[in-house]
Structure 1
Amino acid sequence: MNITIHGINFQKEFVPYIEQLIDALHQHNAKIYLTEAFLKNLKKSGAKAAGFTVLGSREELQHMDFVISVGGDGTLLDTVSMVGEYEVPILGINTGRMGFLATIAKEDVGKAVEVLFDGAFTIQDRILLNLKADQPLFNGVPYGLNEFTIHKRDTSSMITVHTYIDGEYLNSYWADGLIVSTPTGSTGYSLSCGGPLISPLAKNFVITPVSPHNLNVRPMIVSDESEITFTIEGRSKKFLISLDSRSTAVDASVKLRVKKEKFVAKLVKFHDYSFFDTLRKKLNWGFDLRN
């Protein structure tokens, strides 16, 4: 079995768990590949590891059986960007804080490898957002798992985002910005701006304004078959747009449209995984001393 391990950064206290992960993979005769970013941090941490190959190019991922993301949810989002159209299943081991996407606790890495090789898991297809623009953006990676965001840049003045659904005018949002979120991303930025929680396998996008000036404006759920287009106005000549954690400044003249990506992100979920259980644990959802 060919397995790539990817990670952006990790603290020294996580080194024993990473060594345990690599040892467990060796015990199952896996062929281990490390991304350059992960290898750099591995050397920096002083971890003891051997018997691996450095991933030479992104194209090699198409020959992988799994990619293991070691880090927090941000690392898993970066892993999704790296895997892209190859749709290699991704297993997230959480060394971060929240762990909505990277759901395997670091203490369970040994058990996780056993479950992975036993096949006691399901693979969830998570939809991605695709950004179309009339100029190249995001270095040829115009997709994201969580959300696409339009935001004011360097002024206290709000912006106006004229929004259309399949060419039909929806609304002009006077706000600090606007979020288009997938169901997966509904527990992220959208949630903090008052957006609804959406089951991750739902077929929807949610449009959530950021600090809207019109108090009667509310988040809106639309079909993920919709194409959403925008025109932006404001005092500033530049605005920020982002896909997950990647952001760039654009001119107001740039034409932007968002729709569902043709491929999906495949996330490995073990049989005891429950989205609703995760909500209760990570958000203290429904927590009450009376319970």
Structure 2
Amino acid sequence: MKVGIYGQFYHDNSEAYIQLILDALQKNNVEIVIEANFLKILKDHQEITHNVEALNTFTQLDSSYDLFFSIGGDGTILKSVTFVRNLNIPIVGINTGRLGFLATIQKENISESIAQILNKEYSVSERSLLTIETYPADESLTTSLNFALNEVAVNRKNTTSMIKVETKVNDKYLNSYWSDGLIVATPTGSTGYSLSCGGPVIDPSTNSVVITPIAPHNLTARPLVLPDSSEISLKVSGREDTFLVSLDSRIMTLANETILLIKKAPFTIKFVQLPEDSFIKTLRKKLLWGEDKRN
């Protein structure tokens, strides 16, 4: 078995958990390949007793990998998706961060969880993504990274004034949102930026997409859930000449009147899910549903 490992940061006291991961994989004769920049971070922290110097590194993935371990929080998983892309490599999200809707394997259960995974005691949760195209084409949008797992969002830039987001669905006019911006989110992204702006929570197995306005001027502008077969067109105008577009954590600047065409990506991202885990369980735990807070 060949496993890729990636992390963005070295969280406080995370050396013990990274050590557990490396030891558990090596004990089972797993071929370990670490992302090059993450290996540099590990080398700077002498607390890791595993001989990381001997490990191979990658800067890009190929189809030879069986699993991809993401060590951190949800932000690290969003970055992991840019490595995995359309290679169908299942992602194992190990949460050493805080909230973690996506990174569901908790650091306290690493040894047991890895044992289950290596014994193939898991299922795969497939998640849809969004892609965007711009008209006219913009050089800042790399065609190999024109996708988002959570959401595509447009926001005002360098101004406190609202922007107007003219929105069409399947080439039919929907609305012109006067707001700070607009979010188009996948079911996976419904618990992220969209949720903080009043959007609904959507089960990730649902074939849908949600449009959520950001601080709309008109209070009748409410989040709208659509089939994920929909093609959504956005055109932004405002007092400034440019506006911001984000694909998950990647941000670029586009000129006003640029048309964004957003639709479902032709591939999915696969997450490893252990038998005792589920979206409902994660939702209840992270949002503290069902807990009596009256005391």
Structure 1 residue 203 and structure 2 residue 207: aligned?
yes
Q: Which amino acid aligns with 1:4?
A: G
Q: Which residue in the other structure is 1:147 paired with?
A: 151
Whole-angstrom distance in 2 between the partners of 1:19 and 1:138: 38
Deviation, 1:279, is: 1.2
Distance 1:137-1:224 versus aligned 2 partners, 3 A rule:
farther
Structure 1 residue 271 and structure 2 residue 275: aligned?
yes
SS in 2 for 1:17: helix
Please show how residues 162-241 of structure 1 align to structure 2 within 5 Å.
Answer: 162-241=166-245
**8 Å contact kept, 1:124–1:267:** yes
User: What is the RMSD of the two structures over their aligned residues, measured on CA atoms?
Assistant: 1.3
**8 Å contact kept, 1:12–1:45:** no
Q: Which amino acid aligns with 1:54?
A: T
Give the number of aligned pairs.
289
SS in 1 for 2:86: helix
Q: Which amino acid aligns with 1:101?
A: L
Whole-angstrom distance in 2 between the partners of 1:288 and 1:174: 39
**8 Å contact kept, 2:152–2:185:** yes
Q: Which amino acid aligns with 1:119?
A: K
Deviation, 1:281, is: 1.1
Q: Which segment is superposed worse, 175-184 or 252-261?
A: 252-261
Structure 1 residue 158 and structure 2 residue 162: aligned?
yes
Deviation, 1:138, is: 4.1
Q: Which amino acid aligns with 1:231?
A: K
Q: Which residue in the other structure is 1:251 paired with?
A: 255
Q: Which residue in the other structure is 2:49 paired with?
A: 48
Sequence identity percentage:
43
Deviations 1:47-85 (A, max 9, x none): 222242111x41x43210000000000000100111101
Structure 1 residue 96 and structure 2 residue 97: aligned?
yes
SS in 2 for 1:239: strand
Q: Which amino acid aligns with 2:29?
A: N
SS in 1 for 2:252: strand
Structure 1 residue 135 and structure 2 residue 138: aligned?
yes
Q: Which segment is superposed worse, 246-255 or 17-26?
A: 246-255
**8 Å contact kept, 2:237–2:257:** no
Q: Which residue in the other structure is 1:64 paired with?
A: 65
**8 Å contact kept, 1:151–1:178:** yes
Q: Which residue in the other structure is 2:25 paired with?
A: 25
Q: Which amino acid aligns with 1:44?
A: D
Whole-angstrom distance in 2 between the partners of 1:217 and 1:253: 22
SS in 1 for 2:216: coil
Q: Which amino acid aligns with 1:65?
A: D
Whole-angstrom distance in 1 between the partners of 2:171 and 2:202: 25
SS in 2 for 1:111: helix
Q: Which amino acid aligns with 1:37?
A: N
Whole-angstrom distance in 1 between the partners of 2:211 and 2:118: 39
Whole-angstrom distance in 2 between the partners of 1:290 and 1:210: 32
Structure 1 residue 14 and structure 2 residue 14: aligned?
yes
Deviation, 1:285, is: 2.3
Q: Which amino acid aligns with 1:117?
A: L
**8 Å contact kept, 1:61–1:88:** no
SS in 1 for 2:62: helix
**8 Å contact kept, 2:7–2:72:** yes
Whole-angstrom distance in 2 between the partners of 1:287 and 1:120: 30
Higher helix share: 1
Deviations 1:107-146 (A, max 9, x none): 2111121011111100011000101112233433011100
Q: Which runs of 5+ in 2 are unaligned?
A: none
